[in-house]
Structure 1
Amino acid sequence: MRITLISLLLLSCVAAAPARADLHITRDHGGYVEEYKVKYKRVRDKGERVIIDGICNSACTLVLGIVPMSKICVTPRASLGFHQAYYDKAFTFGIKVTSASGTSDLMSYYPDTVKDWIQRNGGLTTEMKKIKNGVDLWKIVDPCPDEW
Structure 2
Amino acid sequence: MKFLTGVLAAMLLPAGAGVSHATVRIAHDRGGLIASYLYKYEKLRASGDTVIIDGLCASACTIVLAAIPPNNICVTSNANLAFHAAWEFGVRGRAIPNFEATQMLFSLYPLPVQRWIARRGGLTPRPLFLRGKQLQSIYRSCATASASR
Q: Report TM bin, short chain.
A: 0.7 to 0.9
Give the distance between the partners of 2:47 and 2:75, measured in 1 at CA.
20
- May I ask how many residue pairs the two structures share in their alignment? 128
Structure 1 length-normalised TM: 0.80
Q: Deviations over 1:41-97 (max 9, x none)?
A: 111111000000000011101111110000000001000000000003xx4323221
Match of 2:135 in 1: 137
Percent identity, please.
38
Which is further off, 93-102 or 60-69?
Answer: 93-102
What letter corresponds to residue 56 of structure 1 in structure 2? Answer: C
Q: Once superposed, which parts of structure 1, at least 4 consecutive aligned residues long, lie more than 6 Å away?
A: none
The 5 A counterparts of 1:9-88 are 20-88=21-89
- Give 5+ residue unaligned stretches, structure 1: 1-17
Match of 1:94 in 2: 93
What letter corresponds to residue 140 of structure 1 in structure 2? Answer: I
2:26 match: secondary structure:
strand
RMSD value, Cα: 1.8
Structure 2 length-normalised TM: 0.79
C-alpha displacement of 1:19: 8.7
Which is further off, 35-44 or 53-62?
Answer: 35-44
